[in-house]
Amino acid sequence: MKKNIAEIIDVSNEVYEKGLVSGKAGNISARFGEVVAITPTLKSLYNLSQEDIVLVDMDANVLTKGKPSSEVNMHLEIYKRRPDVQAIVHTHSPYATGFAFSNKKLKRLEGFGAIKSPYLSDIEYEKPGSDELAKSAGEGLGDEDVLILKNHGVICVSDSLKEAMLLAVFVEETAKTQFITHMLNSVEDGD
């Protein structure tokens, strides 16, 4: 378990250093059987220590010291619905979240996983930390690996922490590309 917690810390640092979260935003978790290890509430993802990572059971009972992320129920809801999911990375990465605040949909671009639908799934805004958000995110994700939370951020899921993190990086990069495309398409040719 120590090794697994060390991986959450590594991935948290990487997510922060890549600019996918800032301040105290974002949360990351991984499942180990019936136990979920999750980043704490009200702490930056940068430079977490082993003691900061909180263990909870599937009913959200806290098994260690500390207080889990306020989105713990959203993570648990996804794990309960998706036995294949072993790790969840939730970010507010700027370009993807910019799309989440706009009326533009994000396309699923080539390069990571199968393209099942042309656009990434999204759900309407629910209050962060609420049961409504947990339920809506679980339903909205379905069998996809990315979910856009309108006016909020992004959820990426996978069978490993590393893959979920790489997916979050990929989604942000494709959002940036699509942002640049929208900008260029809005400029008149100067001839």
Number of shown-chain residues binding Zn ion (CB under 5 A): 1
Interface with Zn ion (CB under 5 A), residue from 153, 156, 167, 172: 153
Query: Is 172 one of the annotated active-site residues of the chain?
Result: no
Min separation Cβ 133 and Zn ion, Å: 9
Stretch that binds Zn ion, among 75-83, 101-109, 116-124, 149-157 (CB under 5 A): 149-157
Give the active site residue among 14, 71, 77, 163.
Answer: 71
Examine residue 68 and tell whether it contacts Zn ion (CB under 5 A). no
Closer of 109 and 150 to Zn ion (Cβ):
150
Tokens of 121: 């799934």
Min separation Cβ 142 and Zn ion, Å: 20
Closer of 45 and 85 to Zn ion (Cβ):
45
Q: Tokens 């009326």 map to which residue? A: 103
Q: How far is CA 90 from CA 15, 81, 112, 134, in A?
A: 10, 17, 17, 13
Q: Are 154 and 146 in contact (CB under 8 A)?
A: yes
List residues near Zn ion by CB under 5 A.
Answer: 153
Active-site residue list: 71
